[in-house]
Structures are given as C-alpha cells and as structure tokens.
C-alpha cells in the first residue's frame, strides 16, 4: 500500500492536456478558401506552482494554427479551455 501511494505521488503528470473537436462547428472553408478545423484545448496545471504554457503546432507544410492567446498562465491546480483553429 505504501509503495502504491509513493508511486502515485512520484509518477504524477504535471500537465494534463485534453483536445476535443468543437462540437458546435464542423470543418468549414474560410474566406481565403482554406479548410478550417476548430478544437477546444483544455490545459490543467497539476503542480503546486503557477506555470505558463504555450501551444504550438509541429511544423507541417500548408498548415497554420490560430490561437486566442500566445501564452496561457495557470495557477496551481487551475484549468483553462482555449479554442484553437487549424487552417490548411
């Protein structure tokens, strides 16, 4: 039992990320003729200290990421849902 508690405390993930499609919007074509996919990214700071997080898209030719904020500062234990869009 003690080993299980120690393992649970030391193996804790400091950041939880949940990405889900924006259920109110399917893929669409914007005014520039590009396909837009919308998502909600939920970030949860699971540490006991405040941290700032940055969301980026791995370089992919022809894709771009649109964010509301460049950095997301979160207090200890705080969560934040941020809408993001990927264009391609």
- Read off the pLDDT of residues 49-62 as tens digits, 9 standing for 90 and up: 999 999 999 988 98
Confidence (pTM)? 0.77
pLDDT band at 9; cut points 50, 70, 90: low
Q: Provide CB contacts within 8 A for 19, sequence distance 6+.
A: 39, 40, 41, 42
**65/16 Cα distance (integer angstroms):** 20
Instruction: Please name each of the domains of the chain with its CATH number.
Output: 14-87 (2.60.40.10)
Q: Could you tell me which of 14, 9, 5 has the C-alpha nearest to residue 49?
A: 14
Cβ atoms of residues 72 and 80 within 8 Å? yes
- Read off the pLDDT of residues 14-24 as tens digits, 9 standing for 90 and up: 899 999 998 77
DSSP state of 6: H
């Amino acid at each position: 039992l003690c080993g299980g508690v120690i393992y649970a405390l030391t193996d804790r993930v400091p950041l939880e990320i949940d990405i889900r499609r924006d259920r109110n919007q399917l893929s669409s074509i914007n005014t520039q003729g590009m396909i837009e996919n919308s998502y909600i990214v939920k970030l949860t700071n699971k540490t006991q200290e405040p941290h700032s997080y940055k969301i980026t898209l791995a370089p992919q030719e022809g894709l771009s990421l649109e964010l509301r904020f460049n950095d997301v500062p979160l207090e200890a234990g705080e969560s934040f849902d941020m809408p993001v869009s990927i264009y391609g």
